[in-house]
Amino acid sequence: MIVGVGIDVVDVQRFADTLGRTPALRERLFTQTELACPMASLAARFAAKEALAKALGAPAGLQWTDAEIDSDDSGRPRLTMSGSVARRANEVGAAHVHVSLSHDAGLASAVVIVEN
C-alpha cells in the first residue's frame, strides 16, 4: 500500500547559483558521496530529498544528509535513510522507497513513492 508520494523539480542553473552564493549549503544538503556528482545530478538528488520529505508528510526536523541517493551497479538510483529520516520512515511504516531521477533541458526532477 502506498503511504506517500512526492515529486519535485529543480532549475539546475538556479540551484548552482544558490550553491555558489552559499558554499556551506553543500555540506548541509549532501553526503560526501553525493558531493562527487556533477551539478545536474546534485540538483536531481536535491529534488529527490525534497520529494522524499513530501512523501513522508514534510515533518520538521529532517536532516538532509540523513537521506543519501546513490546508484546501484546498473545505474538505478537508490535511497538510503538514516537518523531523522529513518525515524520518520519508521513512524509512517515505510517498508519500501522507490526513487526516480531525471535531468534534461536545464531541469532536474525526482519522484519518490513510499510503501508499507
Q: What is the mean pLDDT of residues 14-18?
A: 97
State the average pLDDT for the chain: 95
What percent of the chain lies above the pLDDT cut of 90?
95
Model pLDDT for residues 33-90, shown as the tens digit of each residue: 999 999 999 999 999 999 999 999 988 889 999 999 999 999 899 999 999 999 999 9
Contact 52, 97 (CB under 8 A): yes
Residue with cell 546508484: 71
CATH class given for the domain over 2-115:
alpha beta
What percent of the chain lies above the pLDDT cut of 70?
100
105 contacts: CB under 8 Å, gap ≥ 6: none
C-alpha cell at 25: 549549503
Give pTM, 2 decimals.
Answer: 0.94
pLDDT for res 91: 93
**How many degrees, rounded to 5, is the angle at CA 21 between CA 19 and CA 24?**
60
